[in-house]
Chain A
């Protein structure tokens, strides 16, 4: 019965589809036209039905509503995307970002602090924030690896370890993906609540973007002012939130197959999930780069939760001022350096 309940929501949708479909193909005045007709001559025609709707829908007596779809040649499109475009999109996005980052690193090198460490630490992320970040991050990495396995596993890994081991790994990867998804979804929600105010656009974003955050100034002199988050970080935040929500919604469709969508809806969900997924992976790779190798002092912010005052002044001058204003007249950072 449980199952039935879950399935019920599609009923009306399908019924509507069937009805709409029926209206389209039934000759006008079918009611009156029934008697005296030649049913053999009026037989429905596959080609015509496919041209009209690109899908052939009928009635079955079994309760499995999706069985009533006789043909959906759109499965072919799903396949061509999945096996054609998707690996390319994913490959280009991921390899592309890696190349860009490599190039950036080669040209710009690590972004170092201009002034020496002040020795004064400022709290940048509290425990809850860091916990949320790392839970989400861990989940994302697991999801990314297990997710990418669906696209690239059979192309890259299977030839190395053979079908049996690959299948066993993939089975576990799938379990893992399904269960870690909940941590990710929760993380995205909490992040949104925690950081949404600090990520609303402000007047510094324009300038920050104009100078590219100073990333491309090899002299390292450009440090546009920024509040708690600069425009670049805001971009990351919003890509994570929007991407995360897209992944969540499309993922939920897939966790409960056919509960809220028919086969074409499922295809759409899968397609969105895959595209957003690979793009997110690319974005997060960039995020990881900047947060670790790419910028001196950045990792600390999320690692220990504190940053050096001078680092904060360079990268988030407005935030530091605000923090300072809040805590005047004492030291901006309440935490004494050890």
Chain B
């Protein structure tokens, strides 16, 4: 097909022939290092990085003609879609990226970030050496000194204040294995004060969804959305946050002539491709969802059979929904009843229909309730548990799903076992350490079983008086590995915490805003920056949003003194004296724990979530055989020798031991498949009966099940009752007998032999039981979701009827939301700050953005922090497009200087800021606060310097999606 393009010839040149003869040595790692050092342009380069004035910097790693190319595969680190990255490596240098055609998830595609990840590794803005703040100046130090000093300081704090005074902030950017080790280190240190980004992105999803039907994860997959006839995206902008997902969504839209409805306060780039756009007021999701259900119940569009068989408590919902007739919904949300009726009818009748959401629903004081209402809408219409349906929750970081599952979270040990004594015992068995040893590491048994402090509140836990924090002492040290500070709300408040800490350690590929803000807050000492590898410089597995687990190879070795997460954790564990116990069953080579071994240990303990079948060997076979998986079903042909019958990435739950070859679960809760084909019922997680009503499924069961009705989760007792215990092998029985004094209580999730799961599956049943989903979650503050006004609302008239929940102690710290809401009304905040401020993502950047703003290919595309404002609001204030404005916030006299983008994308009275910027504070450029040469190309004000108080009662999720602000021309 392709022909050589040589026939047309322009004039030849003397120069060319001359230069062609210059012998060119291939670039080896040495040359590469030299070049990457030289390419540092410093501030001078920044100055010249303006339109047009360009010096062509010598390419750091151009392709090397004639040198052999090695292809390596890893996973993009910028969102949870899970795109495969194919790297061309020559002489140990990453010289090019090729499309990953074989991946069923991205099929060669990337977004701006994925197409430029090579530059992340090469960026000359990275931390190259460990740095230490001495008298307000950054100095280079060595790893040994840094770890020793950090460890000593931690032990000192532990002596004086107890283990809970050290906070372990981990990352959704860890691999599963890194997450697991970090979680394990916190356990061995003796605290539950360990958390990661899921707190501020989908913690409310996890709590809300898991409390509805068992697991808090995306039910289906991106690929499966191709089957949908109706998609509602409510509170999400995947065109910018998850661009590759749009490939599946838009193709689905075309193939099925699907309805593509976007419900959002902002006319997003996703909305531009919708077939119906619904604009609601920020923070009124429940009213809109109930408004839709009102029409559904009114017209009898609900799926009565589905509700009868698989849902508990829908009648109580019906009663609540009656309180939301169209006029009330319009009064609250601004959405007209006719439009909502149209959308409701589509969702209920043009099936399969899926509801997709992101942080537009989760990041609210009512986040958990929002998400629950969304699940209930799916349940009422029977839109869950089938292809093309489901609650498709798009997660944000490459491994935020994995890090959540692995329990890098204040409320649980790995895989949602919780913090109960039984949970600790389970993990003590897996780790082969004694429970008593673990207990001794904690201040008390009580605190060992008490959830820790969520990362949204770290600075409150640092700066509040000691007696207001429910642990021995306040938080005195932060160990931050891979988490931005500017993605947490209330930056002005966090400044207090930054200056008060006795120790601040940031282990990251970049200094991040922790560095620039800490220096700004007046910090001069006791702060360390440890250079860490990107995921491309190490290996390990990561979980995409659809629960598929993919193994990433190491593409290149780190260029300078960067160490990977495993090495950092191992060194610290050594220093803290817990390495021997922690790595008892994990091989360590050259001071680097072997990730394959870490994964095997996870497999041995991850029964509750079906993380037991995904051995490193199986995962690697999947990466090797990517091309064999079907685009829509994600399944490989059954006769394939290596991956036969598997679903791509063995999406969890993948039951039993790897040898059982469970194929993974592509769509959760789908009873139309056999359990060994990935079928499953709703999880019987909430008991068997409530108020005389059964909580087990009625007349619904997975295909080929020997039990043709609901059943509880499997324990030895149940197994015995059915007589299936005879199927256990002697070996399995031996393991089970060792587990507890009461063998009957050993369950599918604590049985380390995997025998119970194996036997249950062989009978076509599901280990976790066959229950009903809960429309009413009686253990939550709002068992039935109800609309509650945001803390800072422009609609003060609605607060009396829809107030936020009362103040309460949550997660060891007070949640004063009610008091703050009342005070705001008394002070007339809504008059002085009349504009709603909401925040969101840009396609070019991710998270706190320091990493992506250090990538020159991306930084060029978004060079300035901005605020979107409606033309009407801009006119009133004399603001012109592209002009500077001051944004002032409702708390702490906060202010930010940004460029105005005047656009109808936001409605009147609404403003929007992207949350990826940092490195400015209240109009001041903090570039000088970074260690030399590590400042990102682009800096700007953080949206979170304006965001305000507000925490979800269930997870202490922050509220960056609705607050109030005022804007004036600068």
From residue 660 to 709 of chain B, which have CB atoms closer than 8 A to chain A? none
Q: Which of A227-266 contact B (CB under 8 A)?
A: none
Q: Decide yes or no whether B920 CB sits under 8 A from chain A.
A: no
Expressed in whole angstroms, the minimum distance between the Cβ of A199 and any Cβ of chain B is: 42
The answer to the question of A107 belonging to the interface, with a C-beta cut-off of 8 Å to chain B, is: no
Residue numbers in A under 8 Å from B272 (CB-CB): 39
> In the assembled complex, which residues on chain B have CB atoms less than 8 Å from the CB atom of A127?
none
Asked if B345 CB lies within 8 Å of chain A CBs, one says no
Say yes or no: A164-B12 contact (C-beta < 8 A), given A4-B50, A39-B274: yes
The answer on a CB contact under 8 Å between A34 and B267 is: yes
Residue tally, chain A, CB below 8 Å to B:
24
Asked if A36 contacts B339 (CB within 8 A), the reply is yes
* A34/B277 contact (C-beta < 8 A), A1-B47, A3-B51, A4-B50 known: yes
User: Nearest Cβ distance between residue B262 and chain A, in whole angstroms?
Assistant: 8
Q: How far is the CA of A37 from the CA of B277 in the complex (A)?
A: 6
Given A35-B279, A167-B11, decide whether A15 and B50 contact each other with a Cβ distance below 8 A. Answer: no
A56-64, A70-78, A83-91, A141-149: which one contacts chain B? A56-64
| B908 part of interface (Cβ distance < 8 Å) | yes
Q: Is the CB of B51 within 8 A of A4?
A: yes
Known A4-B50, A40-B260, A64-B52: A35·B862 in contact at CB below 8 Å: no
Chain A window 3-18, contacts with chain B (Cβ cutoff 8 Å), 1 for yes, 0 for no: 1100100010001000
Write the chain A residue with the least CB distance to B882.
A11
Known contacts A34-B279, A36-B277, A164-B11, A7 near B51 by CB under 8 Å? yes
In this complex, what residue of A is CB-closest to B270?
A: A39
Residues of B within 8 A of A61 (CB): 844, 861-863
A3–B277 touching, CB < 8 Å: no
Does A31 have its Cβ within 8 Å of any Cβ on chain B? yes
- The residue on A at minimum CB distance from B264 is A35
Q: Which residues, 839 to 898 on B, are CB-close (under 8 Å) to A?
A: 844, 860-863, 870, 872, 880-882
A92–B862 Cα gap in the complex (Å)? 51
Asked whether any CB of chain B lies closer than 8 Å to the CB of A38, the reply is yes
Q: Mask for B42-56, Cβ within 8 A of A = 1, else 0?
A: 000001001111000
> Taking each of B11, B13, B271, which has the highest tally of chain A beta carbons within 10 Å of its own beta carbon?
B11
Q: Interface range on chain B: under 10, 10 to 19, 20 to 34, or 35 or more? A: 35 or more
Tell me the bound Cα distance from A31 to B907 in angstroms. Answer: 7
Q: Is A156 an interface residue (CB 8 A)?
A: no
- Supposing A62-B861, A162-B11 touch, asked if A38 and B51 sit within 8 A by C-beta, the answer is no
Q: Which residues of A contact B336 (CB under 8 A)?
A: 36
Q: Give min CB distance, A23 to chain B, whole Å.
A: 11
Interface residues in B45-70 by Cβ distance below 8 A to A read 47, 50-53
Which A residues from 265 to 286 make CB contacts under 8 A with B?
none
Residue-wise interface mask of B (913-956) relative to A, using a CB-CB cutoff of 8 A (1 in contact, 0 not)? 00000000000000000000000000000000000000000000
Residue of A nearest to B342 (CB): A36
Please report whether the interface of chain B is mostly helix, strand, loop or mixed according to DSSP.
loop
Contact residues in B for A40 (Cβ distance below 8 Å): 260, 273-275
> In the bound complex, do residue B274 and residue A31 qualify as a contact, i.e. CB atoms below 8 Å apart?
no
Chain B residue at minimum C-beta to C-beta distance from A164: B11
B276 at the interface (CB under 8 A from A): yes
* Residue with the highest number of chain A CB atoms closer than 10 Å, among B14, B260, B277, B908: B277
State whether B882 touches A15 (Cβ < 8 A): yes
- Residue picked from B12, B13, B52, B274, most chain A C-beta under 10 Å: B52
Q: Looking across the interface, which residue of chain A has its beta carbon closest to that of B52?
A: A3
- How many Å from the CB of B426 to the closest CB on chain A? 50
Given A31-B908, A34-B267: A164 touches B14 (CB 8 Å cut-off): yes
A41 within 8 A of B: yes
* Interface of chain A, main secondary structure: loop
CB distance from B8 to the nearest CB of A (A): 13
**Docked CA distance A30–B274 (Å):** 16
Q: How far is the CA of A58 from the CA of B590 in the complex (A)?
A: 55
Partner of B276, one of A3, A7, A38, A64: A38
CA distance A50 to B52 in the complex (A): 28
A102 proximal to B (CB < 8 A): no
Known pairs A11-B882, A31-B904, A61-B862; A39 contacts B51 (CB<8 A): no
- What's the nearest-Cβ distance from chain B to residue A232, in Å? 46
Q: In angstroms, how far is the closest chain B Cβ from the Cβ of A158? A: 9
Q: List, in ascending order, chain A residues with CB within 8 A of B882's CB.
A: 11, 15
* A38 smallest CB distance to B (angstroms): 5
Q: Which chain B positions have C-beta within 8 A of A36?
A: 276-278, 336, 339
Minimum CB–CB distance for B584 against chain A, Å: 52
**Which B residues are CB-close (under 8 A) to A38?**
274-277
When C-beta atoms are compared, the residue in chain B nearest to A37 turns out to be: B277
Question: A164 — which chain B residues lie within 8 A by C-beta?
Answer: 11-14
CA distance A1 to B44 in the complex (A): 12
| Chain B, 12-53, CB within 8 A of any chain A CB | 12-14, 47, 50-53
Partner of B335, one of A11, A15, A35, A39: A35
Complex interface residues of chain B between 76 and 93 (CB less than 8 A to chain A): none
A-B contact pairs, 15 of them (CB 8 A): A1-B47, A3-B50, A3-B52, A34-B277, A34-B279, A34-B904, A35-B279, A37-B277, A38-B277, A39-B267, A40-B275, A62-B863, A64-B51, A164-B14, A167-B11
Residues in A lying within 8 Å of B, measured CB to CB: 1, 3-4, 7, 11, 15, 30-31, 34-41, 61-64, 162-164, 167
**Could you list 19 further interchain pairs (A-B, Cβ under 8 angstroms) beyond the known A1-B50, A30-B904, A31-B870?**
A15-B881, A15-B882, A31-B908, A34-B267, A34-B279, A35-B277, A35-B278, A35-B279, A36-B277, A36-B339, A37-B277, A38-B276, A39-B273, A40-B273, A62-B860, A63-B863, A64-B52, A163-B11, A164-B11
Q: Residues of B with Cβ closer than 8 Å to A?
A: 10-14, 47, 50-53, 260, 267, 271-279, 335-336, 339, 844, 860-863, 870, 872, 880-882, 904, 907-908
Counting from the closest, the 10 A-B pairs by CB-CB distance are: A163-B11, A35-B279, A36-B339, A3-B50, A63-B51, A40-B275, A39-B272, A3-B53, A39-B274, A64-B51
